[in-house]
Amino acid sequence: MATATWAANTSGKASAAPLDGTELLRTNDGGASKKLLVSDVRTYILGLATTFLDALKSSSATAGIGYATGAGGTVTQATSRSTGVTLSKTTGQITTTADSLAGLAIVTFTVTNTAVAATDTIILSKVSGDVDTFCWVNAVAAGSFDVTLRNSHAVDADTTAFVFNFAVIKGVTA
């Protein structure tokens, strides 16, 4: 196993990290050296809320950037497409009822979500449903966001359950 000395980066820019398994040497208050593995440090740091001074990027072709297991949830509307739902998660999947949405009709419902702040951005992506129906977020407030569905077909009603994923991107104004 390689041995390396690691010092704090005070430049404000990210620096290349040593590889997992590399030993870091740290001196405690008594002056004795203690070995600490990079993998131990990463496990500890990744378990904390982290602020990045520069861009957060993934170089993986398949892993990307996203949420861990447990961050998401699912909910299904109870009675109609205008019935609000509650899902207090930063990501999840919502299924509407399959009641009829007439051609060119628009309906809005509220997603109550305590993880949402008024400054957040909500992203929606359609999973399944009628080809002519689509959705968008038309309002974001502290603790909720409104989703609007529109059947863009001129004549035919949509009688399918509409399923979409959502993700919350945390935002600030300062």
Confidence of residue 4 (pLDDT cuts 50, 70, 90): very low
pTM: 0.72
What mean pLDDT, rounded, does the chain reach?
82
Any domain includes 136: yes
Contact 160, 98 (CB under 8 A): yes
Which 8-state DSSP code applies to residue 22? Answer: P
Q: Is the pLDDT of residue 167 over 90?
A: yes
pLDDT at 111: 98
3-class secondary structure, 145? strand
Shared domain check, 152 and 110: yes
* Residue 102: both structure tokens together: 């007439």
57-65 contact pairs (CB < 8 A, 24+): none
Domain boundary residue, one of 11, 33, 65? 65
pLDDT score recorded for residue 3 = 41
Does 174 map to a domain? no
Provide the greatest CA pair distance for the chain. 80
